[in-house]
Amino acid sequence: MKNFILSLTLILTGQLFAQRDSVFIKTPIYSCVYSEVLQQPKRIWYTVQCPSGSYPRKGMDFYTNDSVKTSDAKDYEANVWDKGHCAPAADFNCTRETLWQTFSYLNCILQHEKLNRGAWRLLEAYERQLALKGKVTVQIDVIYTKNSAKLPTGATIPTAFRKTINFDNKKEMYYFVNEAPKSNDFKLYLVK
């Protein structure tokens, strides 16, 4: 009987801690499909809300979620990977609350620092310019392959990103390999 109880306990414990490959998350400012297996988002979509907001991000840093196993600060230490916002902080800096929501690790990707601070950042600024004239919706597909590297801390490094921007009955799609870009001109990464 003791062996049966021990076996049942081990089975149930394993089920409680099984990592989910796709968890749908809906927040007031973005939605995403998050992978606990990868400890990274697979897809995020949002509508730019504050194209000219100016609420300061001073003192804000990324935070984990109690109900979803995410990456954490250790995944980003002493390497070239930035804590890249999927839904950009600057697109939601109209209030402290909306800005704070962008700092969840559910909205964070391991992104090469030169991509995050270069062409990707400039593309985010372009989204806000478009949003000054009308509604802008964005979808980011985070791409993984069988060769995507996994950090010793547990998170998987995305291979690439596909960002689709919808505005004024138009659609633009950009594709970035997750490495230092050859140019910061984001228009060079337009694929459709």
pLDDT at 87: 98
pLDDT at 9: 41
Residues 6+ apart with CB under 8 A from 71: 39, 40, 105, 108, 110, 153, 154, 155
> Beta-strand (E) ranges in 8-105?
23-26, 30-35, 40-47, 81-85
pLDDT at 6: 39
Tens-binned pLDDT, residue by residue, of the chain (192 aa): 554 443 444 444 444 579 999 999 999 999 999 999 999 999 999 999 999 999 999 999 999 999 999 999 999 999 999 999 999 999 999 999 999 999 999 999 999 999 999 999 999 999 999 999 999 999 999 999 999 999 999 999 999 999 999 999 999 999 999 999 999 999 999 998
pLDDT at 16: 57
Residue 187, CB-side half-sphere exposure with 13 Å CA sphere:
1
* DSSP annotation string for 42-104: EEEEEE---TT-----TT---B-BTTB----GGGGTTSSEEEEESS-GGGGTTSHHHHHHTTB
The phi and psi torsions of 15 (rounded to 5 degrees) equal: -70, -35
pLDDT at 12: 43
